[in-house]
Copies of this chain bind each other. A is one copy, B any other.
Amino acid sequence: MSTPSVNRPSGRSPNQLRPVSITRSFTKHAEGSVLISFGDTKVLCTASVLEKVPPHKKGSGEGWVTAEYGMLPRSTHTRSDREAARGKQTGRTQEIQRLIGRALRSVFNLAALGERTIHLDCDVLQADGGTRTAAITGAYIAARDAVNGLLKSGALNKDPIIDSVAAISVGIYEGVPVLDLDYPEDSSCDTDMNVVMTGKGGMIELQGTAEGAAFSREELNSLLNLAEQGIQELTALQIDALKVSTLH
């Protein structure tokens, strides 16, 4: 793909990801704990193994994978209200945590997991665009670490994870499709799309929204090409990160 020219605020080329960093075992209590950065966006993803399942799975022999998402009040440019103090989660928060849960479930064989829950908590320490895509990409590694612990301890003897999963945003900035929007780009782009794909290249979730002008099938195809490339790079980074042995 020839990359068209555009002046991104970040100075990146249209198909360039932000620097990604992945720190496993960032905190010590969780069965999986990953600090992931997409540039200045930093999300702490923990995976907790709970030996229980929600009511709709009780007695089914199957497990469950679910997620919660939150932003620290001053992870953003101006302070946001603390959701715990307001007494409820915003619609945006609920939308995102439902997305993360669906994305992670898509790579799990719930029967092989047995009647337990992998509970993913994705907390944004610093926000600069793309918090949900960083959360999904990091939550996979945390889930992988938690499941590895279950395999090592003998609680599981068959791997319930059937593929890896990662996510990236794409958008049309000043008429040009670009990869991995940061906050200044996200605020001023016309179309914003989040794409979730597996390591094997299957599409899991697609959420595209025209912010200003409607978009065409042609633009959609360009965006999806960019997203596919980005996900392949993220998948490689996930594999690399998981190669390192940790003390956990």
Contact = CB atoms under 8 A, between A and B. Distances in A.
Contacts of A163: 214
A29 to B, nearest CB: 5
Secondary structure of the A contact surface, majority rule: mixed
Q: How many copies does the complex hold?
A: 6
A95 B84 CA distance: 14
Interface in A36-79: 40, 42, 44, 46, 48, 50, 68, 70, 72-79
A203 B215 contact: yes
A133 interface: no
A16 interface: no
Task: Bin chain A's interface residue count.
Answer: 35 or more
A243 interface: no
A72 B44 contact: yes
A112 to B, nearest CB: 16
Interface of A: 27-30, 33, 40, 42, 44, 46, 48, 50, 68, 70, 72-79, 82-85, 87-89, 91-95, 97-98, 102, 106, 119, 121, 123, 125-127, 163, 193, 197-198, 200, 202-210, 213-217, 220, 224
